[in-house]
Amino acid sequence: MTGKILTDHRRGFGDFDVVDFVDEQEIAALRAKLDVDVPIDLHWTWEYGSEIEELRNLYERGKRGQWNAETDIDWSQPFPRDEWFMPREGALLMPSLLTVMGADEDTCKQAAFSEFTHLLSQLLHGEQAALQLCGQLTNACPTMDAKFYAGSQVIDEVRHVEVISKFLQRKMGAIHPIDPTLKILLDMLLAAPTWKMKTLGMQTLFEGMAVGIFDTIAKMTSNPLLRDIVRRVQLDESRHAAFGILSMRQVVRESTPEELAEMEDFAFAVLEALNANQQLDMLRLHGPKYGLDPDNVVQSTLAMPEWPVLNSEIYMHTVIPNLKRLNLITERTEDDYRRIGVLYGDRFEAKQELPVAS
């Protein structure tokens, strides 16, 4: 069994270990920690020609795929607070639960709005981390192809920060602060010591989660403005995920068995901790407004027979198949992933083909 992180914030819910932050002062201190010490090995290269053709093709695709978050989006489209923008059940946690509990439609709509503002705010903070980490990669990557691509990804991530923050400010009226669990995990990824670990953290874990979440939102939303934004972001993210696969294939080829084992453990530790929060950070902030007790919600979700299937959906979309393809989930860790409800069944093929070829 591999090691756990955030051990000071663990509590047992039956067999399941949750990560839970309850100390307001500690949470405030985490959010106030703006300076992070990150090691960077800056690497020059004198080889300006292309060494990895697929990567250079992807860079060309990236250039062609640029869009303008201010002028290419029709910002005059509404995002009405009193209309459903996601299915009432099966998409967001709070409205689904409240519906089952018999709450009126208005309350369910408000809960959906709160939860989605929260989710999108966390995605926004994640985009900022992607921007910062990708900037690090332009320094640390060894080949000019990778530097070209990482450089073009920086501007994509800037655009994602721009478009999501504008959507939140203009249409939802709030940006929620970063969740403590997410802040710790993002700091960990940003502070990963080598370019190989940075590439794993950024391109496989981050981007894999982003593709899964954005694709799910795009498929489920009925609001044209939100769908347009999320689809555009998701197209960029699938290029990033392709960069992840191409660069990680090389990383895996060049790594020692010890380095690979370290990466496998790192990936598991990050995903395990993320999953262990079970939305408690969100529920602590928003649950009580709608009469939902965070502990009760998590306990009853964990007790549902279909929980492993539902819980693993977002992970099984991209991040788990990609880790498996890269041989970063092996027999050593596979059962651990299954035990925590992140890996289910045998669907190791990514749902969408990565656009690696130009």
Binding interface with Fe ion (CB under 5 A): 127, 130, 157, 160, 237, 240
3-state secondary structure 241-290: HHHHHHHHHHHHHHCCHHHHHHHHHHHHHHHHHHHHCCCHHHHHHHHHHH
Q: Please identify, using beta-carbon distances, which residue of 234 and 278 lies nearer to Fe ion.
A: 234
* Tokens linked to 7: 């051990």
Q: Tell me the C-alpha distance between 67 and 231, whole Å.
A: 12
Least distance between Fe ion and beta carbon 92 (Å)? 21
Specify the 3-state DSSP secondary structure of 131. Answer: helix
Task: Describe the chain by its helix, strand, coil percentages, rounded to 5.
Answer: 65, 0, 35
Least distance between Fe ion and beta carbon 178 (Å)? 16
Least distance between Fe ion and beta carbon 41 (Å)? 22
Dihedral over Cα of 20, 288, 176, 219: its sign? positive
Least distance between Fe ion and beta carbon 161 (Å)? 8
Nearest Cα residue to 147 out of 222, 235, 46, 281: 46
**What is the CA 255 to chain-centroid distance, rounded?**
25
Q: Are strands 16-19 and 10-13 parallel, antiparallel or unpaired?
A: antiparallel
Q: Please identify, using beta-carbon distances, which residue of 163 and 276 lies nearer to Fe ion.
A: 163
Least distance between Fe ion and beta carbon 65 (Å)? 12
* Pair 330, 257: CB distance under 8 Å: no
Q: Please identify, using beta-carbon distances, which residue of 112 and 182 lies nearer to Fe ion.
A: 182
Least distance between Fe ion and beta carbon 114 (Å)? 24
Q: Please identify, using beta-carbon distances, which residue of 160 and 324 lies nearer to Fe ion.
A: 160
Rg (CA), the chain: 20
Q: Please identify, using beta-carbon distances, which residue of 77 and 128 lies nearer to Fe ion.
A: 128
Q: Please identify, using beta-carbon distances, which residue of 209 and 263 lies nearer to Fe ion.
A: 209
Nearest Cα residue to 137 out of 188, 65, 196: 196
| CB atoms closer than 10 angstroms to residue 1 | 9
* Tokens linked to 201: 């953290």
Q: Please identify, using beta-carbon distances, which residue of 117 and 238 lies nearer to Fe ion.
A: 238
**What is the CA 88 to chain-centroid distance, rounded?**
23
Least distance between Fe ion and beta carbon 323 (Å)? 17
Nearest Cα residue to 1 out of 351, 357, 333: 333
Least distance between Fe ion and beta carbon 291 (Å)? 35
Q: Please identify, using beta-carbon distances, which residue of 240 and 284 lies nearer to Fe ion.
A: 240
Q: Tell me the C-alpha distance between 120 and 139, whole Å.
A: 29
Least distance between Fe ion and beta carbon 30 (Å)? 23
